Each structure stands twice: as C-alpha cells, then as structure tokens.
Structure 1
Amino acid sequence: MIKQDHGYDFRPVTKKDLPMIAGWLAEPHVAEWWDDPETELAEIRDHIDSISVEPLIVELDDKPIAYLQSYDPHMEDDHPYADQPFGTLGIDLSIGPPELVGIGHGSAIVRQFIEALFEEGVPRVIIDPDPANIRAIRAYEKAGFRPIDRRRSEYGDVVLMAIDAEEGQ
C-alpha cells in the first residue's frame, strides 16, 4: 500500500506522450475498460487542444504513471451527464504500469486531484466506471465518491459516482 503523503504532479499531455499512452492503452488492465486503442489515442490527441477536455499525465517522483482527464459535461452538446449541477467536472483515470495497479495509487491520485478542483471552486466531481470494474469502484469509494445513478449511454453501462465539495472538505 502506498503512503498517503505521496504528492502527485499533474501536467498537460503533449504529442510526445502519445506513444507512452498507446503503450498503456495496450496493457490488459487498461484495454479491458477502454475502446479500441487507436480510436482512444486519436481522441486523446484531439483533447490536447480541446476546451472541454483537459488530458493530463500524472507523475510520481518525475515518472509518468497514469493518464487522467477532466471534462465539463456542459460544454458538449447532448452529453449524457449534462443533467449534473452546473460547474460539475467529470474525470477519468487509468494507471499505466501494471505493477502500480491495486496498491492504492488510484484512490490517492483521484483524492489529490479532486481536492485541487474543490479549491478552485468546482462544486461536484463525477466519475463513471463500468459496473464490472469493481477495483475502480472500490478505489473511487475510498476517495470519497458515492454511486448516484446507473446509466447506459454512448459510453456504455456505467455507475455514475459523485463527490460534492462540501463532502470532500
């Protein structure tokens, strides 16, 4: 288990990161939950210049360990989560190296990131794991998220989970 005093750094994805992300998308523990790697990589490349999605690399001790993206569901037409309160941001996380999965990084990364979002004034953060991804659901619950809905959309069958700023303080 990782120590809770780890500080993660979040930096914007650059085109130079795409081969590394492609490698992560090919890892079985990531590929199981993402769509076709080429399609996903093209979307991540497009997100580099997006105003609605912020793609980030998570680093620990200056070493890239995860891909995280945040998005505003109110900035996309017909987004399935646009019913969430205004100001809500959604996040997605994938830890790249398989040896770093299942030892506490997921919940710690998410916790640090959402605390920073709350400090910026974000009222709610949502995340939408596949119902079969029990490991992710447990990690998000450990970070303070709670299930609020079960939905089927273009993203598939999801458990919509949320944490509100007043809960996260």
Structure 2
Amino acid sequence: MDIKNDKITIKPLRDKDVGIFSKWLAKEYIYKWFCPDGEEHKMAWLDEVNNRNTQYHYMKHFIVYYNDKAIGFCLYLDCYFEKEYIPEHYGKTVDEKETVFEIGYLIGEEEYLGKGIGKIIVKKLIGEIAEIGGKEILADPDEANVLSIRTLLSNGFVKVKDCDYRYCLK
C-alpha cells in the first residue's frame, strides 16, 4: 500500500466515533500503551472522550482518516489545565494558556501500521498547535514503545529524559 500524505486527514472526534475508539483501545497493541493500568485506564479514556465538550474542554480529540476510512486517533491538550500531572511528570509548571501542549496518537487499523502514518499524524498535530500559537509540545511514550519514540524523534522531538520528549515551535 502506497500511502499519500495528502490522503491523511484529522477531523474532530464526534459522538458516533466513540465506538470505534473504544474498539481500538481494546486491541492488544494499543491497550498495552494507552491502558497500562488496565480497564480502569480504558474507562478513563472513554470518560474523557465522552466529556470532551465539558469537563475536558481543553483537550482536542481527532479521528485520523485515510481517504474516508477511519484508521486512527490523536489528540492534543493544553497543559495549563493539568496542574498536577504536568509538573509531576515533566517537572515544569505552565502558567499561560495555549503555550504548552501534550500530544497522543494511535493507529487503530493494523493494515496501516508501519506505513509512516504516525509521522504524518504528529506533523499534523504540530501544525494544529502552531496555528493556535503553541510554543512547546510534550509527549510521554513508554520507553519500550520504540516505534512511537522513533516517530517523535523523526519529527524533531528531543528526549529530555525517559518518557519525556519535547518539541519547540519557532
């Protein structure tokens, strides 16, 4: 399969997309990274996407499409609103909205793995964040998730320490 960059799009997650996201989370190769604490973690993800317009308004969730087929998920969140997690995990405090963001992504359809789509997704997230004036992007892949780390590094992220990768927007 020859993937064309211009055929990859990200569109805001809709209520009707929650089912496919839930299906993807249950896949072993995704579950191990997105739900390291088990079912409780999966339920937290589903709560987040179901309450994205209220409690989690500072997070932007997307479905990734190849042509018109849903193949993955990605998000970014404004770190200003994560007053405990960001300082604890990254050792930094964010005092201003829309300056520092964290990203996450997955490819939910196996036949699209290993095709460079993760790199395209990260580029698109960088573009979205640049458009709103973001200054820095954080990512926290598990160190055993070598493919995700390679994807981040190939997009210009720099490793600060284990599970702490950062990208500075110019």
SS in 1 for 2:125: helix
Distance in 2 between residues matched to 1:43 and 1:137, nearest whole Å:
24
Contact 1:73 1:82 in 2 (8 A): no
Partner of 1:8: 8
Q: Please, which of 137, 140, 152 is the counterpart of residue 149 of structure 2?
A: 137
Identity across the alignment (%): 25
Distance in 2 between residues matched to 1:139 and 1:6, nearest whole Å:
18
The one-letter code sitting in structure 2 at the alignment partner of 1:8 is I
Q: 1:2 to 1:133 in 2, by over 3 A?
A: farther
Deviation at 1:4, TM superposition (A): 6.1
1:65 maps to 2:82: no
Contact 2:74 2:121 in 1 (8 A): no
* RMSD of aligned alpha carbons: 2.1
Contact 2:103 2:125 in 1 (8 A): no
Deviation at 1:60, TM superposition (A): 1.9
Distance in 1 between residues matched to 2:81 and 2:160, nearest whole Å:
21
Structure 1 unpaired stretches of 5+: 151-158
Partner of 1:83: 92
Q: 1:48 to 1:90 in 2, by over 3 A?
A: same
- How many aligned positions are there? 158
Structure 2 unpaired stretches of 5+: none
Q: 1:34 to 1:116 in 2, by over 3 A?
A: closer
Partner of 2:24: 24
* TM-score when normalising by structure 2: 0.82
Q: Which has the higher helix share?
A: 2
1:165 maps to 2:165: no
